[in-house]
A = this chain, B = another copy of it.
Amino acid sequence: MADGTTGGENLLFLTDEQLRKGIEAMFFAYRGFTADPDRILADMSYGRAHHRALHFINRSRGTTVNNLLAVLGVTKQSLNRVLRTLIEDGLVESRVGREDRRERHLYLTAEGAELERQLSEAQRARMRAAYRAAGPQAVAGFRQVLEAMMDDSIRSHYTALKDGRP
């Protein structure tokens, strides 16, 4: 139909203008999303990559390096550089697998858990304020759109974590 509707359903939210606003919103919001942890990390000799590693090791205690690689979507060499410093600094512990001794299982130490808690609390504080300002219905929509935006290959990692599956 010429008026932008189909069978009574309004599709105005799919115009290029609307999409552009969503794109710009993603760009600016992501800056805010990372701003607070980045400020904390800047004082130490760590960066965003260390935060991500700490986050997912905390979320999936005892995860293997290979699994972490898949979740983070980076190369082994890239992750290894980050992981090595975290292990050397005593924030992460790497244990040889009991069933398959080729694997290394990763755990946060008490110190690592403390930094992770500090970083994620800063990030949650902003998210909490945004959620509160927008309300529960908006939050549901927010999560729906984000989930639909993920690559198919990535979404399974997200839903597994979301539902607390191993």
> Chain A 126-151, CB within 8 Å of chain B: the 1/0 string?
11111111111111111111111111
Q: How many positions in chain A have a CB within 8 Å of any CB in the partner chain?
A: 60
Which single member of B19, B52, B147 contacts A25 (CB below 8 Å)? B147
CB–CB B28/A158 < 8 A: yes
* Given A31-B73, A154-B32: A23 in contact with B124 (beta carbons within 8 A): yes
Report the copy number of this chain in the oligomer. Answer: 2
C-alpha spacing A157/B27, complex, angstroms: 12
Please give me the residue from chain B that is nearest to A123 by CB atom: B23
* Chain B residue at minimum C-beta to C-beta distance from A29: B146
Contact code string A12-25 (vs B, CB < 8 Å = 1, else 0): 11101011111111
For the complex of A and B, list the 10 residue pairs with the smallest distance between their C-beta atoms, beginning with the closest: A141-B141, A138-B141, A130-B148, A29-B146, A142-B145, A25-B146, A134-B144, A133-B148, A130-B149, A138-B144
